[in-house]
Amino acid sequence: MTDQPNPRRWWTLAALVLASLAVGFDATILNLALPTMAKDLNAGNAQLQWFVTVYTLVLAAGMIPAGMIGDRLGRKKTMLAALAIFGISSLAAAYAPSSELFIAARAVLGLGAALMMPTMLALIPTMFTPDERPKAIGTLAGASLLAFPIGPLLGGWLLNHFWWGSVFLINIPMVVLAVLAVGAWMPESEPRRGQRIDGAGLVLSSAAMTALTYGLIEIGERGWTDAAVLGPILGGLAALALFVLWERRFSDPLVELSLFANARFSVGTGLATVVNFTLFGVLFVLPQYFQAIVGVDAMGSSLRLLPLIGGMLIGMVAAGRVGTAIGPKLTAVLGFILLAGSLFVGATTGVGSGTALMAGWTVAYGLGLGFTLPTAMNAALGALSPLSAGVGAGVTQSVRTLGGSFGAAILGSILSSAYRDAVPPEARESVFAGLAAARSTQSAALEDTVRSAFVHGLDLVLITSGALAILGLLLAAAWLPGKPHHS
């Protein structure tokens, strides 16, 4: 993609890692603070749900327009503006005196993250050689996933020593360092000039992503048949159909639909979405398993995710070299074999399963993640031209976000229905409510039923995810290029 690689590209990547960590911390740390915030801000369940979901909604809706902004105005300017927005809204969230102001600050945080994510990814194909891209993508993806165990560990310590707002203040030093590093090392991209702004495309894409994400989030609370779920999902699909029709007719479209005619872009995006689907399912069920069945707190749960993160980091370090040696097709196939095999082994988990089984399959799952995610993302991003990299990265990230939302909604629904069908009415709200009911009545039989029901649901989630990983394997084998890249 580049004849002369930028000599400061690895320093620039270090700056992007700092930004990625800040976004990752914010996405993982809030759940720990919710109980304290409910009391301090006098927030009800509906407000607590909005604390979490408003960030996801703005993030999903903003990524395609954000990619366009980076392409048109310059990615360095966009990145610096995004970091400033993210830092200022983190301060506002930390000191918010009411639920309403906190929700507003979270919405602006989502905007900052939406501007950052496609801009970061768009820089990869423009700055790194084909051989270097998997390593660069793996480094960025690893940084965001590292936030999953580190965020709760750091958040737990802060909540034990300070007030709830401190979990948002940790973004500030990360943002300041990222601003200094981006300012010093990141080159400015060449802006795309002379094109009209696709206002209708902006509105339709944002409306589609917002409605679809909202509907998927609500499935967990309301079920699949509720009007508050079906309405937004159907409305989102209608907006998406209108968006496609408009983009085909507009002379300067927001998204070049010809991108999807490129098999590498479409399949790479699809494979990354499959990986995200399984990952959100695993990260949805494992913390609940650790806390409800194993009986550890949030920090103990984070520590038990370290084998997964360790496997993933090893896989990401190795993926670039393996891909250079055997090509992206075999690298992705190997990764999906690890994903599917580990998920099926994980699905043998019982109430009395030991730590060794859990650590073993999560290490292998992490290794599969490390092989598949950079390879899939590299296939998608490697198909982009430097001028359209921002919008293309925004599309890929938006689809991946939807895939994650689908994963959480569908796999959460499988877990919930399997659990509810096996327990009496007083235990149906959640596994934690079921255990509390059993302990309040001192019923060992009910406690055993609750535990068994939850583990059965967990196994079904992992079987479903494993089946999806096999689909990813077949797609990778059929469509990814077999030959290694050589710069």
Separation between Cα atoms, residue 68 and residue 258, nearest integer Å: 16
Separation between Cα atoms, residue 462 and residue 349, nearest integer Å: 10
User: Where is mean pLDDT largest: 34-38, 250-254, 282-286?
Assistant: 282-286
Q: Are residues 348 and 481 in the same domain?
A: yes
Query: Percent of the chain at pLDDT above 70?
Result: 90
Tokens of 1: 């993609």
Q: Are residues 215 and 163 in the same domain?
A: no
Contact 345, 353 (CB under 8 A): no
Residue 352 class from Cβ within 10 Å (0-12 exposed, 13-18 middle, 19+ buried)? exposed
Task: Residue 179: name the closest of 26, 66, 58, 22 by CA.
Answer: 22
Question: What pLDDT shows up at residue 38?
Answer: 73
Residue 487 reports pLDDT greater than 60: no
Question: What pLDDT shows up at residue 365?
Answer: 97
Separation between Cα atoms, residue 441 and residue 18, nearest integer Å: 49
Q: What is the pLDDT of residues 92-105, one digit of tens each?
A: 999 988 888 998 99
Separation between Cα atoms, residue 253 and residue 242, nearest integer Å: 13
Residue 353 covered by a domain: yes
Counting Cα atoms < 13 Å in the Cβ hemisphere of 416 gives 16
Q: Are residues 333 and 356 in the same domain?
A: yes
Q: How confident is the model at residue 388 (pLDDT cuts 50, 70, 90)?
A: low
Lowest model confidence (mean pLDDT) among 56-65, 142-151, 362-371, 406-415: 142-151
Lowest model confidence (mean pLDDT) among 21-30, 324-333, 384-393, 462-471: 384-393
Question: Which has more confidence, 191 or 88?
Answer: 88
Q: How many angstroms separate the Cα of 259 from the Cα of each of 266, 327, 427?
A: 8, 22, 49
Residue 2 reports pLDDT greater than 60: no
Q: Are residues 320 and 404 in the same domain?
A: yes
Question: What pLDDT shows up at residue 347?
Answer: 95
User: Where is mean pLDDT largest: 108-112, 212-216, 318-322?
Assistant: 108-112
Q: Are residues 341 and 482 in the same domain?
A: yes
Q: Are residues 17 and 42 in the same domain?
A: yes
Q: Are residues 99 and 220 in the same domain?
A: no
Question: What pLDDT shows up at residue 1?
Answer: 42
Residue 244 covered by a domain: yes
For 469-487, b where at least 16 C-beta lie within 10 A, e where not — what string?
Answer: bbebbebbeebbeeebbee
Lowest model confidence (mean pLDDT) among 401-405, 417-421, 439-443: 401-405
Lowest model confidence (mean pLDDT) among 117-131, 190-204, 357-371: 190-204
Q: Are residues 151 and 242 in the same domain?
A: no
Q: Show which of 233, 251, 269 is a domain's final residue.
A: 251
Separation between Cα atoms, residue 358 and residue 238, nearest integer Å: 42
Residue 388 covered by a domain: yes
Separation between Cα atoms, residue 102 and residue 297, nearest integer Å: 26
CATH of the domain at 129: 1.20.1250.20
Task: Residue 149: name the closest of 343, 283, 346 by CA.
Answer: 283
Mean pLDDT of the chain: 83
Residue 1 covered by a domain: no
Q: Are residues 433 and 348 in the same domain?
A: yes
Q: What is the pLDDT of residues 278-304, one digit of tens each?
A: 987 888 788 888 888 888 876 777 788
- In this prediction the pTM is 0.78
Give me the domain span that covers residue 351.
Answer: 259-486
Tokens of 35: 């109980």
Q: Are residues 172 and 284 in the same domain?
A: no
Residue 483 reports pLDDT greater than 80: no
Q: Show which of 251, 276, 295 is a domain's final residue.
A: 251
Q: Are residues 211 and 185 in the same domain?
A: no
Q: What is the pLDDT of residues 54-68, one digit of tens each?
A: 887 788 778 778 777
Question: What pLDDT shows up at residue 379?
Answer: 83
Q: Are residues 246 and 320 in the same domain?
A: no
- N-terminal to C-terminal alpha carbon distance within the chain: 9
The number of folded domains in the chain is 3
Question: What pLDDT shows up at residue 32?
Answer: 67
Residue 240 covered by a domain: yes
Helix (H) or strand (E) holding 455, with range, is helix 444-479
Q: Show which of 194, 209, 229 is a domain's final residue.
A: 194
- Rounded to an integer, the average pLDDT of 57-81 is 81
Helix (H) or strand (E) holding 204, with range, is helix 199-222
Residue 2 covered by a domain: no
